[in-house]
Structure 1
Amino acid sequence: VAYLIGSKSLMAFGNAKVCPIADSDSSIRLIYWLDREVNENGDNRQTQQRIRSIHNNLKTFHDPHECRTSVESLTEQDRLILIVSGSLGRDILQTVHDLPQLSSVYVYCMDKKLNEEWARQYRKIKDVIVCEQNLIDRIKFDKKTLVNIDQGISFNIYTITDDPNPSIIRENESFVRSLILLKSIIRLRFDPKDREELISCLKKQFHGNKRQLRITEEFKQEYSNETALLWYIHESFLYTTLNKALNEQSIEQMLLFRLYLQDMYEQLKQNQYGSQIRVYHSQMMSFEERHDLEKSKNGYISIKTFLFANTNQNKVLESLINTQTTSDKCKILFVIDANPSVATANPFIDISRFHSFMSETIIMFMLGSIFRLKDVNRDGNIWTVQMELCGENEHNLEQVFEYMNRIHGNENRDSTIDRRAFGDIAHRIGESDVARKMYDRQLDEAPKNDPVRSDLHCSLGRSSVIYMVL
């Protein structure tokens, strides 16, 4: 059951944890809305209609005692979302907050800053909201199924060594190339035509699939930068399609999703987890991949996709132990230490605030995050990989970041770039085909008398020259 607390957006409540996801078909998911004026004005009545169009189990209350009695009458198996006004929320949460049937609370109010102050003490408050559309978005996504957050890590390895082994050199080149590529895509300036191109490509990809076409149309009509994370962690085409492009390092596909990646990055930065934390992630891994990690101890890995990890070690271990062993894979437990003050360029957040029925604190790391491999050891049939999130002040990676600065032209790596600049970077890392497409695209859009056209023609000529990656 969830509460909507009378108030009128997505805030980070530090290290707040959330409430359990209903895993039984016998449980009932409800929404209660407590506000003295819940039925008294046209705006609230209109909001009720919008909520009921998504969720038909909405019940409204203007009296706190009546609401409290109704909450207490629910069973522990029920799941309630409570929407509550700022003034009534302070009172009722003192008595109902710890009830197991209450999953989450939204404070729906007029003064966000004022209500955020007292709301921080309650872990089940997911958000203090002042905008009706933000409230509707949260309820809509709460109804969706969460993606499988146990997906395995896909990574590149960087080995600290003086050995000129060609295999190690190739691995290190892939590590650097991937970081440069990701950073450049996030910096590439947004063009409204790119969103239209993404939607068009998705419709072609899902031709004949009515369900995915419907979701694509919803994405087209309803997506905003504030809902980027919600679209990713809830079951939709984004999780599978984007992860496939990231795992394969498909530049053209990644470019299609660049607006979305930019929004995700900004949302992670805005909701950065507030303190040092240790989390756990498990997966089955090939013996070759495990050997690569073992021989790279004291080296580094960068993740190609977003990484989910759980604070509950026992639950992660139990899941791993119960996973059936196969002849070609081994069990891996990742133990990850992360400090937000160290890795400022690679944010990580608690995603449990973004779903009303999630029981544990689940941490999500930004793709491209770099981890130091501290140790790899075996205990029975489980391999433990201990690693630590790194920042750009990592001494052993100074040469990597200096090289990245040169590739980026020694400019501010947080500033936006146009297609020509992206083409230049792509050419420097050996992606001449991508570079030429960028130059051609900008040429097509540049006015005939634009002086930049001559520079673009020069860039096209240079793109035919092979550029060494490292």
Structure 2
Amino acid sequence: MATQLTIVQPQNLETFMLIWLDSLVNKSEDNIDTKILLRKTINRLVAFEDMDKCIEYIKDQDEERIVLIVSGRLGQQAVPALHHLAHLIAIYVYCGDKKRHEIWTKEYIKIKGVIDDLKELIIQIQIDQTKRNEYKIDEPIPISYYTKTKKQNLTMNNDDFISSQLLLDCLSRMKPQSNEREQLIRLCKDEYLANEIGLNMIRDFEEKYSPDRAIWWLTRESFVCRVLNKAFQVTNIDLLYYFNFFIRDVRKQLELNKSSSRIRTYRAQIMSSKELRLLKLSIGEIISIDIFLFTIPSRERAIQILQESNVCHDLKRVLIEIDADPSHLNMKPFGDVTSLNYFTDVEVTLFMVGTIFHPVDISEENDITVIQMETCCEEDPSVKTILDAINAQDYEGKPNLLSLGYILSKMKKFYYAEKCYNQLLKEMPDDHYAMVSCYQGFGTIAMEKQEYDVSLQWYQKALDADKAKLKPDDPIIASDYNTLADIHVKKGEYTQAIESYTRALNVWIAAFGTEHLKVAKCYNKIGITYETQEKYLDAIDYYKKTVIIYHKTRCVGYPEIAKLYNHIASIYASIDKNTQALKYFNAALKILTKIHPFGHPEVVRTMKNIAATHEASGNAKEALVQFETIASIHRQLLPLNHPDVAEITDKMQRIFAQLNKNV
């Protein structure tokens, strides 16, 4: 007798999921045996006897691509409720009365067949799924968006885009750990339990994989591509980490086989209206395709693939047309991998995961949306910003677990960052730099979570370790004290903060002298802390020390100096020390008029502050002179109905009235 299959697991490692809705699905012995056979085609199979539970489950699985088998009786109610869902891509009606159910199923384009024989059902699903896997037309493409303009409609801000690029770059260049491959194989064996074909493929990979066959495995119809694609689609950090060795090997093969001349290549893709809308908004911007992107050289074949696909409701046929130029420096590799392909008779160009593209145009061609894209040139300022962020990661020569933890922390994936730090501490307990960096990493995560006491404990551990290893005047110790002070400020512990800032200051002075940027910034932080405590004269003393260093060393620009002068002046004005306030407002104005054009807002704002301070001091005539100068600027630059014009006019009228009253 056949044993019943365990049908529900917590996480699907593949893109596709097979759902079977039938009141007899777990009772008929034929059905139970069939489920085992179906898993050879789509590994994750979930069976339901209850229609309402099935409908609710399918609606919740919007990150999956679902293939549904449904009985004729239940299908008449379930299909109308589910057919509109974009993530439901195919339906098979398995029934005992084929002719009767063929009548109502004609209304639903996603129904691929009405079948009354289990063997025929298995074969049909296998054929259709093989086509889906070959061209991956139904699989979602994860895309990150970078806006050069100020569009607010895209899903990701630019910092997130750069973090995503850093993650992919790190994974593709990080030296694999000794047990990554074993962990991946163990995880996949658990996922494919009771799927003998899947397990045989995993054993084959375990025994025969070699780095020079990475692309061969990527293009083979196996768990490798299916699981890796899903990991990219949902950013499964554990899986991506386990696949690190494989991603690195694919990159190396692509580097060795990268194109030497410009090419035009095509990708057929089914997209939702939402995905297409985001791509339309990205015209003129920058995107990253965060998956290994397979394309073909034949436009006609790509269009044929699209025309053979059925779309409805929210789905659209999309032809992605790519112009790729390998002469662009610093770009990720791409190349013709036909000779490395598992299917050697299929021409394929492969783009490295995370390749950056510039969408240039979008048009309609019959019922197909054509998106023209080109690989990005490093001369583009936005691309340069991204590349600079990647190149700024020193990695101590090569990216490692510490690099990965840092990037994951920036992405606010704290659980995974902590896993990296914990693993590194286990592997390198005697490496001082790694140990302290992990302590600081834990401290940063705790600070981001606003767990300030925990953060203090970790940074204190880092400081203690550094003090035990380094010289007393090492700048690293000053940085440790500085961070401890920052945390005390966040806790409102200002006395402890100033104590730690002062210790940092003493170390930096010992290391760099009294006129260094680090010293100036520390003075500034002490000033801010005193100001927060409303100890204004103490704050001003430290701000003055800061500005003296700024002036002497030119370690910051004039705008920063003018900003600090204005701030000092504002504090003096707030405590009614108007003579000193005017001195610093005028010092700021002198700088601002040199570095900004006529009528610049910063210049006008400072002039307003000078006028207000004169008025507060009882110097109405001096205030009037300033307001008249501002009014003259407004007359030249602003329309008469501008609110700033009205504001200055009101102030001048008030002062005129005051002067006339005193006559």
Tell me the TM-score range normalised by the shorter chain.
0.5 to 0.7
Whether the 8 Å contact between 2:335 and 2:350 is mirrored in structure 1 is yes
Whether the 8 Å contact between 2:376 and 2:383 is mirrored in structure 1 is no
Percent of matched pairs sharing the same residue: 27
Return the match for 1:178 from 164, 184, 206: 164
| Pair 1:155-2:143 in alignment | yes
In the TM superposition, residue 299 of structure 1 has moved relative to its aligned partner by: 1.0
Letter in 2 for 1:416: K
- TM-score with structure 1 setting the length: 0.63
Return the match for 1:331 from 313, 317, 327: 317
Return the match for 1:300 from 286, 290, 309: 286
SS in 2 for 1:461: helix
- Aligned residue number for residue 201 of structure 1: 187
In the TM superposition, residue 288 of structure 1 has moved relative to its aligned partner by: 1.4
Q: Following the alignment from structure 2 to structure 1, what is the Cα–Cα distance between the partners of residues 203 and 162?
A: 37
In the TM superposition, residue 161 of structure 1 has moved relative to its aligned partner by: 1.2
Return the match for 2:417 from 430, 435, 453: 435
- Aligned residue number for residue 241 of structure 1: 227
In the TM superposition, residue 150 of structure 1 has moved relative to its aligned partner by: 3.7
- Aligned residue number for residue 268 of structure 1: 254
Letter in 1 for 2:363: N
- TM-score with structure 2 setting the length: 0.45
Whether the 8 Å contact between 1:146 and 1:234 is mirrored in structure 2 is no
- Aligned residue number for residue 498 of structure 2: none
CA separation of 1:400 and 1:345: change in aligned 2, threshold 3 A: closer
- Aligned residue number for residue 122 of structure 1: none
Return the match for 2:203 from 209, 217, 224: 217
Letter in 1 for 2:440: C
CA separation of 1:194 and 1:321: change in aligned 2, threshold 3 A: closer
Whether the 8 Å contact between 2:143 and 2:290 is mirrored in structure 1 is yes
Letter in 2 for 1:441: Q
Whether the 8 Å contact between 1:155 and 1:303 is mirrored in structure 2 is yes
Letter in 1 for 2:217: W
Q: Following the alignment from structure 1 to structure 2, what is the Cα–Cα distance between the partners of residues 223 and 205?
A: 20
Whether the 8 Å contact between 1:279 and 1:311 is mirrored in structure 2 is yes
Whether the 8 Å contact between 1:147 and 1:235 is mirrored in structure 2 is yes
- Aligned residue number for residue 376 of structure 2: 390
CA separation of 1:444 and 1:286: change in aligned 2, threshold 3 A: same
Whether the 8 Å contact between 1:429 and 1:467 is mirrored in structure 2 is no
Give the number of aligned pairs: 319
**Structure 1 ranges of 4+ moved more than 6 A:** none
Q: Following the alignment from structure 2 to structure 1, what is the Cα–Cα distance between the partners of residues 168 and 449?
A: 19
Q: Following the alignment from structure 1 to structure 2, what is the Cα–Cα distance between the partners of residues 235 and 229?
A: 12
Q: Following the alignment from structure 2 to structure 1, what is the Cα–Cα distance between the partners of residues 448 and 356?
A: 29
Q: Following the alignment from structure 1 to structure 2, what is the Cα–Cα distance between the partners of residues 334 and 145?
A: 19
SS in 2 for 1:192: coil
CA separation of 1:403 and 1:454: change in aligned 2, threshold 3 A: closer
Q: Following the alignment from structure 1 to structure 2, what is the Cα–Cα distance between the partners of residues 169 and 318?
A: 32
- Structure (1 or 2) with the greater strand fraction: 1
CA separation of 1:381 and 1:223: change in aligned 2, threshold 3 A: same
CA separation of 1:360 and 1:237: change in aligned 2, threshold 3 A: closer
Deviation digits for residues 188-239 of structure 1 (CA, Å, limit 9, x no counterpart): 2222122222222122222222111111111111111111111110111101
SS in 1 for 2:291: coil
SS in 2 for 1:157: strand
- Structure (1 or 2) with the greater helix fraction: 2
Q: Following the alignment from structure 1 to structure 2, what is the Cα–Cα distance between the partners of residues 386 and 193?
A: 42
Question: Rg larger in 1 or in 2?
Answer: 2
Whether the 8 Å contact between 1:432 and 1:464 is mirrored in structure 2 is no
| 1:307-326 superposed matches below 5 A | 307-326=293-312
Q: Following the alignment from structure 1 to structure 2, what is the Cα–Cα distance between the partners of residues 432 and 227?
A: 34
SS in 2 for 1:168: coil
In the TM superposition, residue 424 of structure 1 has moved relative to its aligned partner by: 2.0
- Aligned residue number for residue 462 of structure 1: 444
CA separation of 1:348 and 1:405: change in aligned 2, threshold 3 A: closer
SS in 2 for 1:383: strand
SS in 2 for 1:290: helix
Letter in 1 for 2:322: I
In the TM superposition, residue 306 of structure 1 has moved relative to its aligned partner by: 1.0
Whether the 8 Å contact between 1:156 and 1:171 is mirrored in structure 2 is no
Whether the 8 Å contact between 2:145 and 2:155 is mirrored in structure 1 is no
- Aligned residue number for residue 236 of structure 2: 250
Q: Following the alignment from structure 1 to structure 2, what is the Cα–Cα distance between the partners of residues 357 and 210?
A: 23
In the TM superposition, residue 454 of structure 1 has moved relative to its aligned partner by: 4.1
SS in 1 for 2:179: helix
Q: Following the alignment from structure 1 to structure 2, what is the Cα–Cα distance between the partners of residues 189 and 426?
A: 17
Whether the 8 Å contact between 2:323 and 2:375 is mirrored in structure 1 is yes
Whether the 8 Å contact between 1:310 and 1:316 is mirrored in structure 2 is yes
Whether the 8 Å contact between 2:320 and 2:373 is mirrored in structure 1 is yes
- Aligned residue number for residue 560 of structure 2: none
In the TM superposition, residue 373 of structure 1 has moved relative to its aligned partner by: 0.4
Q: Following the alignment from structure 1 to structure 2, what is the Cα–Cα distance between the partners of residues 454 and 332?
A: 50
Q: Any gaps of 5 or more consecutive residues in structure 1? A: 1-143
Deviation digits for residues 60-115 of structure 1 (CA, Å, limit 9, x no counterpart): xxxxxxxxxxxxxxxxxxxxxxxxxxxxxxxxxxxxxxxxxxxxxxxxxxxxxxxx
Return the match for 2:217 from 221, 231, 237: 231
Tell me which of the two structures has the higher relative contact order, counting C-alpha pairs closer than 8 angstroms and 6 or more residues apart: 1
Deviation digits for residues 285-316 of structure 1 (CA, Å, limit 9, x no counterpart): 11111111112211122111111111111111
| 1:57-96 superposed matches below 5 A | none
SS in 2 for 1:326: coil
Letter in 1 for 2:235: Q
Q: Following the alignment from structure 1 to structure 2, what is the Cα–Cα distance between the partners of residues 169 and 357?
A: 36
